Amino acid sequence: MITRDYLEKVDINKAYRLLNLGATCMVTAEYNGDTGAMPATWVGALDYNPTKCTAVIAKEHYTRPLIEKSGYFAIGVPSVAIAKELFYLGSVSKNDEKDKLEKSGAEFFTLDNSKIPLIDGCIGYLIFKVIPEPHNEQVYDLFIGECVAAYADKRVYKNNHVCFDGVDPKLHTLHYVAGSHFFALGDELKGDGFGLDE
Amino acid sequence: MITRDYLEKVDINKAYRLLNLGATCMVTAEYNGDTGAMPATWVGALDYNPTKCTAVIAKEHYTRPLIEKSGYFAIGVPSVAIAKELFYLGSVSKNDEKDKLEKSGAEFFTLDNSKIPLIDGCIGYLIFKVIPEPHNEQVYDLFIGECVAAYADKRVYKNNHVCFDGVDPKLHTLHYVAGSHFFALGDELKGDGFGLDE
């Protein structure tokens, strides 16, 4: 109940802005009732009108064949509030621990007619249809997706912009470095510090 | 003189960690004495051993043909200290303003045997050789590079990790949303706030 009660559908042409921040993402996918969930740092925007993304999903991940078979994946942009759950989901594979998702403490839900479970506590969610690019997928583990639906927490995404003014810092995004090291996104640059006239 | 006196060469196998933060990047390229410089948000890590990256460089950018002709580009990871210069470099094209680089106020320098000018004030620099992928470049404006050299500011990159503890906040990274809106990266998550035992 961290963010899912605050979601609203947003413009898929502008939803790439949720990815612009460069936050570590949560990738989820579903096939035939089976769900995979993994954090991924190597996710980014590729285009707008509509939003496209790139996502690096290595072959050993449980989530990858679910994406390949279903042709869809979801990207969540996690907040600090679910750092613990995100870290757990990234520290074990469902290949090794079948009840990883339950053990993570993450709460899953779906939206509209998508079957892909999403993880509560993200400030935005984008549902992508895979644009098949077999060469990229095989050689680089690189998937390209075209956004078919997007949702964002209306407390932090207003008029198609992320805005953290007056927002609980627990809703800021997470940025991964290596090991167990994450940073939280800080304040917006304003005034003299930015060197711009307001 | 913001960061260039503090640079040291770093392991190209681990330099992807400079990109993990998801910061807005500075792309520079050089061909036959001509230099292009542009901020780019859609840049990310693709692989390690050695570091590879993806970078979306649209066809209208002055910098793109310099990359195509030389086969190389550099990625800088700008700090808050050069937000003003970065914003200027992103607000005009050298196609329209021939002295854009001089007007920006950015200070350029080169390292070792690379001819590519780098912009002072970045916490890290990665030099990439283009891996030609004509389909990606034409259809998606997506370039793939393999890192041939990397440098980082030793005040914030230690033992192949970004660490902002006790560091001037002006050396934190910049994260773009849209319009003229940027955020600075904040603090590392530690202790109870992260939900992990230290």
CA A161, A164, A168, A174 torsion: positive or negative? positive
Q: What is the predicted pLDDT for the residue at A181? A: 86
When pLDDT is cut at 50, 70 and 90, the band that residue B195 belongs to is low
Cβ within 8 Å, pair B144-A144: no
Distance between CA atoms of residues A63 and A93, nearest Å: 9
Comparing alpha-carbon positions, the chain A residue that sits nearest to B105 is: A195
3-state DSSP assignment of residue A118: strand
The residue segments making up the domain with residue B157 are 4-194
Q: What is the predicted pLDDT for the residue at A144? A: 98
Q: Which two tokens stand for residue B171?
A: 């050396």
Please determine, for residue B198, whether its predicted confidence score (pLDDT) is greater than 60: no
- pLDDT tens across B140-157, in order? 999 999 999 999 999 999
CB A34 within 8 A of CB A70: no
Residue whose token pair is 């649209």: B58
Q: Which of B46, B176, B186 sits opposite A140 (nearest CB)?
A: B46
Q: Which residue has the higher pLDDT, B128 or A192?
A: B128
A108 bridge partner residues = A119
Residue whose token pair is 């907040």: A79
CATH of the domain at A46: 2.30.110.10
What would you measure as the largest C-alpha separation in chain B, in angstroms?
55
Other beta carbons within 10 angstroms of residue B94's beta carbon come to: 19
CB-based contacts of A122, cutoff 8 Å, min separation 6: A3, A26, A76, A77, A78, A79, A82, A153
Comparing alpha-carbon positions, the chain B residue that sits nearest to A43 is: B44
Burial of B182 (0-12, 13-18, 19+ CB in 10 A): buried
Count interface pairs A-B at CB distance under 8 A.
Answer: 156
Please determine, for residue A154, whether its predicted confidence score (pLDDT) is greater than 90: yes
Cβ within 8 Å, pair A140-B47: yes
Cα atoms in the Cβ-side hemisphere of radius 13 Å centred on B196: 18
- pLDDT tens across A54-97, in order? 999 999 999 999 999 999 999 999 999 999 999 999 999 999 99
- pLDDT tens across B38-80, in order? 999 999 999 999 999 999 999 999 999 999 999 999 999 999 9
Q: What is the predicted pLDDT for the residue at B194? A: 58
Cis (ω within 30 of 0) for the bond into A50?
A: yes
Please determine, for residue A193, whether its predicted confidence score (pLDDT) is greater than 70: no
3-state DSSP assignment of residue A190: coil
Please determine, for residue B1, whether its predicted confidence score (pLDDT) is greater than 80: no
Q: What is the predicted pLDDT for the residue at A136? A: 98
- pLDDT tens across A115-134, in order? 999 999 999 999 999 999 99
CB A18 within 8 A of CB A51: no
A21 Cα to chain B: minimum distance (Å): 5
When pLDDT is cut at 50, 70 and 90, the band that residue B196 belongs to is very low
The one-character DSSP state at A101 is: H
A33 Cα to chain B: minimum distance (Å): 30
Cβ within 8 Å, pair B45-A42: yes
Closest CA to B41 of A14, A115, A47, A135: A47
CA-based end-to-end distance of chain A: 37
Read off φ and ψ for residue A177, nearest 5 degrees. Answer: -110, -70
Cβ within 8 Å, pair B162-A177: yes
Distance between CA atoms of residues A121 and B7, nearest Å: 38
When pLDDT is cut at 50, 70 and 90, the band that residue B122 belongs to is very high
Q: What is the predicted pLDDT for the residue at B179? A: 81
Other beta carbons within 10 angstroms of residue B195's beta carbon come to: 17
B198 Cα to chain A: minimum distance (Å): 10
Contacts of B52 in chain A (CB under 8 A): 140
Distances (CA, A) of B175 to A67, A188, B21, B43: 29, 9, 9, 12
Instruction: Taking residues A127-154, report their average pLDDT.
Output: 98
Count of domains for chain B = 1
- pLDDT tens across B88-113, in order? 999 999 999 999 999 999 999 999 99
- pLDDT tens across A14-68, in order? 999 999 999 999 999 999 999 999 999 999 999 999 999 999 999 999 999 999 9
Lowest-confidence region among A25-39, A139-153, B113-127, B155-169: B155-169
Cβ within 8 Å, pair B161-A177: yes
